[in-house]
Amino acid sequence: MTGLATPDRVLAVGAHPDDIEFGCGGTLARWARDGATVIMAIVTDGSKGSWDGGRDQVELVADRKAEQEQAAAVLGARAVVMLDHLDGELWHSPELRTQLCRLIRTHRPNVLLTHDPWRPYELHPDHRVTGWAVTDGLISARDPLFEPDMGIPPHRPEHLLLWKAAEPDHWEDISSTWATKIEALLCHASQGETTMDAADQGGTRRDEFEERMRLHAKKLGTPAGLPLAESFKKLKP
């Protein structure tokens, strides 16, 4: 129920820059530190991630890409793959499933992580669609009669971990990488006024953000007896 052995290869797929850090940043940082090759894939370009209706979206996309690269470096990830779909306009389609299948077959992760598509009342359409595209893409990646013309052998990850799970049944201890998770989240400076409500990087708002995150991680870890945790639904592909 807690603590997978450090995997060799990990692929985390989030809808937007910063989703992965919120969902599993502490876990990825620990695995990377302990020798795992971590790949982060972001499905959309993050072009709607601002409360400011006048924000230049070309600039915003460039900023968010740079922030994602910084956060990945903080976590110790090997690479960031940007799929660059339009933020907020992601539709579940055969083409998207094929793209996720290709991503999984290419990077061949032992552990695959993404949004929980079964989570009730998940408001953001990109989170729902990404969850479905990854889980459906996983079936295509695993079974040899799917995508026969892709030219990449099938691949079956050992574990699928879904963050923000409706029914968590797996926990990872993030006590030793807590500061790294927070540092990675704070790389997403453009999100200071939106998802993080921590616009300045120093002073009280940063402290308030970290305290809010700490209380949440503590709450997630309570059922497993862990001081600070990320929780998941674990599925066997």
Would you tell me which residues interact with Zn ion (CB under 5 A)? 15-16, 19
Q: From CA 78, how far away is CA 34, in angstroms rounded?
A: 13
Nearer to Zn ion, 15 or 41 (CB): 15
Q: How far apart are CB 16 and Zn ion at their closest, in Å?
A: 4
Nearest residue to Zn ion by CB is 16
Q: Which strands sit side by side in the sheet containing 9-14, from one edge to the other? A: 79-85, 37-44, 9-14, 111-115, 159-163, 229-235, 170-173
Q: From CA 165, how far away is CA 112, in angstroms rounded?
A: 14
Burial of 99 (0-12, 13-18, 19+ CB in 10 A): middle
Nearer to Zn ion, 15 or 61 (CB): 15
Nearer to Zn ion, 19 or 172 (CB): 19
Q: How far apart are CB 207 and Zn ion at their closest, in Å?
A: 24
Say if residues 68 and 61 touch (Cβ distance below 8 Å). no
Distance, CA of 173 to chain centre:
17
Q: How far apart are CB 158 and Zn ion at their closest, in Å?
A: 26
Nearer to Zn ion, 87 or 136 (CB): 87
Q: How far apart are CB 232 and Zn ion at their closest, in Å?
A: 17
Q: How far apart are CB 78 and Zn ion at their closest, in Å?
A: 22
Nearer to Zn ion, 16 or 233 (CB): 16
Q: Hey, CA dihedral for 209, 179, 26, 102, is it positive or negative? A: positive
Q: How far apart are CB 79 and Zn ion at their closest, in Å?
A: 20
How many angstroms separate the Cα of 175 from the Cα of each of 126, 162, 178, 182, 196? 30, 20, 5, 12, 21
Q: How far apart are CB 164 and Zn ion at their closest, in Å?
A: 10
For residue 47, the 8-state DSSP code is T
With residue 115 as reference, give the H or E element that holds it: strand 111-115
Nearer to Zn ion, 140 or 190 (CB): 190
Nearer to Zn ion, 49 or 154 (CB): 49
- Residue 68 contacts by C-beta under 8 Å, 6 or more apart in sequence? 17, 18, 40, 42, 46, 80, 82, 187, 188
